[in-house]
Structure 1
């Protein structure tokens, strides 16, 4: 992995993460399925059911994009050829002021298919649970 490859990967990821966060701002999950996730992506988060592929993920993201705002703060990034990962802090801010915000720690696993980077799997846990 060269620094140049890593820097280029980080630029791509920042654009993808901005798109991801905008989906939550706009309450519109569809771009996540067109430009962020692979169709066969795996989503596994502590305290939630495992979701496999767009068909299972779509109903979940329809609800969460409506009810929450998110941010993505990269911590450690790796890329090699057409695969890479990014470990991030993922603050979640409820739109309902009665609900407390929390932070996930997320490992995004990225693959490049047909020249496009997409998330193929996500594993996450709540950082607040570590304290």
Structure 2
């Protein structure tokens, strides 16, 4: 990782940058003990709602709009943490973080692997950051978002991240 990417990543989310871990190999065969998944219609509805949340988050980054992200994407008690292990807990703490990070980069969220249950789900994504300072190079976080369904609507209860990138499928 270049020094400029490490510095920008540190500024973006206040993290101590560690080298990215090697990509996990995907095993397409279900293993004994896999969790039950929701049916096709439930997964399609999750995808529709969560994709809309991701597009809202991307647009809010482009407008430097931390409040929309915090109030519409995350639960009041959401938690996030990165490789340094310092948790950020609750909307007001998220708001303090996001007011700084939305000024640094625009983002694109790309789903990689998803599990949808009846009222809880998680999704691994490549969270691509495109610095607003065009002298800086783009970089990617591997992120795990956790979601809960409340009153028929999916919302994030938080996330965990590290600098890195899932390989492209296929």
Matched, 1:84 2:154: no
Matched, 1:61 2:98: yes
Q: Higher Cα Rg: structure 1 or 2?
A: 2
1:3 to 25, 30, 40: 40
Equivalent residue runs for 1:37-56 within 5 Å: 37-47=74-84, 49-56=86-93
Structure 1 Cα separation of the partners of residues 107 and 86 of structure 2: 20
Structure 1 Cα separation of the partners of residues 84 and 106 of structure 2: 19
Structure 1 Cα separation of the partners of residues 53 and 135 of structure 2: 30
Structure 2 Cα separation of the partners of residues 126 and 38 of structure 1: 24
What corresponds to 1:25 in structure 2? 62
Q: TM-score, normalised by structure 2?
A: 0.71
Structure 1 Cα separation of the partners of residues 108 and 95 of structure 2: 20
SS at match of 2:146: strand
Which has the larger share of helix?
1
1:115 to 140, 152, 169: 152
Matched, 1:99 2:130: no
Matched, 1:35 2:87: no
| Structure 2: tracts of 5 or more residues without a match | 1-37, 166-170
Structure 1 stretches of 4+ with a deviation exceeding 4 A read: none
Q: TM-score, normalised by structure 1?
A: 0.90
Give the CA deviation at 1:48.
7.4
Q: CA RMSD in A?
A: 1.5
Structure 1 Cα separation of the partners of residues 96 and 158 of structure 2: 17
Structure 2 Cα separation of the partners of residues 103 and 95 of structure 1: 15
| Structure 1: tracts of 5 or more residues without a match | none
Give the CA deviation at 1:114.
2.8
